[in-house]
């Protein structure tokens, strides 16, 4: 009897306890899946949010916008005109218009970071243009643009040329002494959303970018154990080679000379030959040693060009300052910033081409 009574009492308490817990009914709330922020007139921000509307016979993505001084004010303003209470638990991405990014996005990123319902792997990106206009493109009216954007960025990081970024990595880079953040750059191109480059920051302000053609080189400089991705090379004699990256790994060496740093970056690559087009238009064997050497030279030249641009714009997404700090006890942040524009950086590439054979 005692056991039966105890069990009965347990279930009564369990059920009554459950009634005290706050619950959200999906049909009564708006699960925000995407947000966008743009600079507006008179110091205002144009905020845009996306949330799905799911009904018995139809579903679509609702897009709402509001002018406000802050992210929280924008949310409140939109809440005042919706029949559903808006919550952030399903947030997939946040976009920032370039004009806003140029004056700094820390306040808006910090809002995401302080919301306990938002995960740290939320994707964030810079829009070359207006985030609001991009999120209202007609092409994506009949599909969930939030899922599309998240998957677009995810798959290009997993199997494409984009280096991995998200809310967590951006915040780490933002507060890391001796490193600046970077984010994907996307754009409305003839009514379609496309990744067009990488945006570089000095602290939280957008400064410069590189185009898609150079992203794979940048990824080799910042990402360990990179794989996947195809890259084409053209040579002076008219020959063309397409390689698939099997593995790429950057190794940084820091030399301290009279307190000042010098950097050597060794990029070691293992690749697979996917295509060879000879200018002679006839069957010939592939001269692996010759093309490996020429590809290494091209990689070094292109990497040098990117690093020169970064130093000229005073942005350090490679984290050279952080690496200097690791090797030098007397590191001084202000002193490093005076060194950076002229710091010596040498890139050395080693490219091994595998599985060549005889090529037509």
Q: What is the pLDDT of residue 105?
A: 95
Q: What is the pLDDT of residue 129?
A: 96
Could you tell me which residues are beta bridge partners of residue 47? 37, 66
HSE (side-chain half, CA atoms, 13 Å) at 276: 20
Q: What is the DSSP letter of 153?
A: H
Other CB atoms within a 10 A radius of the CB of residue 128 amount to 18
Question: Counting runs of H as helices and runs of E as strands, what totals does the chain give?
Answer: 11, 16
CB 187, CB 156: distance < 8 Å: no
Q: What is the DSSP string of 207-243?
A: EEEEEHHHHHHHHHHH-TTB---EEEEE-TTS-EEEE
Output the six-digit token pair for 293.
């050497």
Question: Inter-axis angle of helices 71-79 and 106-114, to 10 degrees?
Answer: 60
In three-state secondary structure terms, 345 is strand
Helix residue ranges, H only, the chain: 2-20, 71-79, 98-101, 106-114, 131-135, 145-158, 167-175, 212-222, 288-312, 320-327, 333-339
Q: What is the pLDDT of residue 22?
A: 45
Give me the domains of the chain, ranges plus CATH numbers.
Answer: 26-211 (no CATH), 224-360 (3.30.300.210)
Name residue, tokens 């000879």. Answer: 278
Separation of alpha carbons 134 and 132, rounded Å: 5
Cα angle: 111, vertex 28, 132; to 5 degrees = 45
Q: Across the 360 residues of the chain, what is the mean pLDDT of every consecutive 10-residue run? A: 54 46 56 93 90 76 88 85 78 95 93 84 95 93 88 90 93 95 96 96 97 92 80 84 88 95 95 81 72 93 97 97 96 96 96 67
Do you know the residue count of the chain?
A: 360
In degrees rounded to 5, what are phi and psi of residue 107? Answer: -60, -35
Separation of alpha carbons 6 and 276, rounded Å: 78
Q: Using CA of residue 212, residue 216, residue 218, residue 223, what is the dihedral sign?
A: positive
pTM of the model: 0.87
Between the CA of residue 168 and those of 37, 121, 216, 234, 282, what are the distances in Å? 19, 6, 22, 38, 52
Find, among 159, 134, 182, 161, the residue nearest to 316 by Cα.
182
Cα angle: 52, vertex 45, 100; to 5 degrees = 105
Q: What is the pLDDT of residue 154?
A: 93
pLDDT digits (tens, 9 = 90+) for 178-226: 999 999 999 999 999 999 999 999 999 999 999 999 998 999 999 887 7
Output the six-digit token pair for 125.
């990106």
Between the CA of residue 210 and those of 184, 257, 327, what are the distances in Å? 10, 31, 29
CB 97, CB 131: distance < 8 Å: yes
Q: What is the pLDDT of residue 13?
A: 47
Find, among 93, 86, 84, 96, the residue nearest to 147 by Cα.
93
């Amino acid at each position: 009897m005692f056991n039966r009574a105890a069990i009965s009492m347990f279930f009564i308490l369990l059920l009554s306890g459950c009634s005290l817990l706050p619950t959200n009914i999906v049909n009564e709330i708006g699960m925000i899946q995407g947000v966008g922020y743009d600079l507006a007139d008179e110091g205002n921000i144009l905020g845009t949010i996306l949330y799905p509307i799911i009904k018995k016979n139809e579903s679509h993505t609702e897009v709402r916008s509001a002018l406000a001084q802050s992210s929280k004010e924008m949310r409140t303003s939109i809440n005042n005109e919706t029949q559903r209470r808006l919550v952030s638990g399903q947030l997939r991405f946040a976009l920032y218009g370039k004009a806003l990014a140029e004056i700094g996005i820390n306040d808006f990123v910090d809002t995401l970071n302080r919301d306990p319902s938002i995960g740290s792997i939320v994707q964030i990106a810079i829009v070359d243009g207006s985030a609001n206009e991009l999120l209202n493109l007609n092409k994506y009216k009949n599909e969930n643009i939030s899922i599309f954007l998240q998957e677009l960025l995810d798959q290009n990081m997993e199997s494409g040329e984009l280096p991995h970024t998200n809310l967590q990595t951006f915040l780490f880079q933002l507060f890391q002494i001796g490193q600046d953040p970077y984010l994907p750059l996307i754009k409305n191109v003839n009514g379609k959303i496309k990744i067009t480059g990488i945006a570089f920051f000095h602290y939280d302000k957008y400064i410069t970018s590189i185009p898609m053609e150079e992203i794979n080189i940048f990824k080799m400089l910042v990402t360990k154990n990179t794989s996947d991705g195809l890259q084409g090379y053209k040579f002076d004699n008219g020959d063309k080679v397409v390689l698939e990256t099997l593995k790429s790994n950057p190794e940084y060496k820091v030399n301290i000379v009279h307190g000042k740093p010098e950097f050597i970056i060794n990029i070691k690559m293992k690749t697979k030959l996917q295509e060879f087009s000879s200018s002679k238009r006839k069957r010939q064997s592939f001269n692996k040693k010759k093309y490996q050497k020429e590809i290494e030279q091209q990689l070094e030249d292109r990497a040098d060009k990117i690093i020169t641009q970064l130093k000229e714009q005073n942005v350090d997404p490679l984290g050279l300052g952080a690496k200097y700090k690791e090797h030098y006890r007397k590191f001084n942040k202000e002193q490093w910033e005076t060194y950076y524009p002229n710091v010596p950086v040498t890139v050395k590439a080693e490219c091994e081409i595998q599985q060549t054979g005889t090529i037509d």
